[in-house]
């Protein structure tokens, strides 16, 4: 069974995340979902025993239907936040994110419908 390298203890939460910066035709790809009121880069939690590189590749494939290659590591971001709304409302969050620049394909990928995104 795969397990995210994240945890929650009382009102404290920690997450180790891999994220993608995808730039196609001068546009940066972001996503949102009905539970949140903001946009964020594609990506997700790294599984225990998984590399951040493998995580970002499978998250991008899952979220876009497109296989992307990593160009290079862009930056590491440590973030502390306490959301007022959404799935994490009221939780004191600590997140470490590894951001990768993905190699451009030269064209934008089509947006997924709500049905496709839910699969």
Q: In angstroms, rounded to a whole number, what is the distance separating the alpha carbons of residues 19 and 107? A: 20
Cross-strand pairs, 20: 42, 100
Q: Quick one: pLDDT at residue 88?
A: 79
The answer on pLDDT for 69 being more than 90 is yes
Q: In angstroms, rounded to a whole number, what is the distance separating the alpha carbons of residues 117 and 113? A: 6
Q: Quick one: pLDDT at residue 85?
A: 80
Q: Give the SS3 label for residue 56.
A: helix
Q: Quick one: pLDDT at residue 34?
A: 87
The number of beta carbons lying within 10 Å of the beta carbon of residue 60 is 27
Q: Is the dihedral of CA 33, 117, 5, 2 positive or negative?
A: positive
Q: Quick one: pLDDT at residue 6?
A: 87
Each residue's pLDDT tens digit, 5-45 = 888 899 999 999 999 999 999 999 999 888 888 899 999 99
Each residue's pLDDT tens digit, 81-95 = 998 887 778 889 999
Structure tokens at 13: 């939460």
């Amino acid at each position: 069974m795969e397990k995210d390298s994240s945890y929650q203890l009382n009102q404290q939460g920690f997450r180790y995340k891999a994220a993608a910066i995808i730039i196609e035709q001068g546009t940066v790809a972001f996503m949102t979902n009905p539970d949140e009121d903001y946009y964020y880069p594609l990506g997700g939690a790294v599984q225990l025993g998984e590399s951040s590189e493998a995580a970002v590749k499978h998250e991008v494939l899952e979220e876009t239907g497109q296989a992307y290659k990593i160009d290079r590591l862009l930056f590491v971001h440590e973030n502390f936040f306490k959301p007022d709304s959404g799935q994490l409302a009221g939780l004191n969050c600590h997140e470490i994110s590894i951001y990768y620049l993905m190699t451009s394909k030269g064209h934008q990928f089509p947006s997924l419908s709500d049905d496709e995104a839910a699969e």
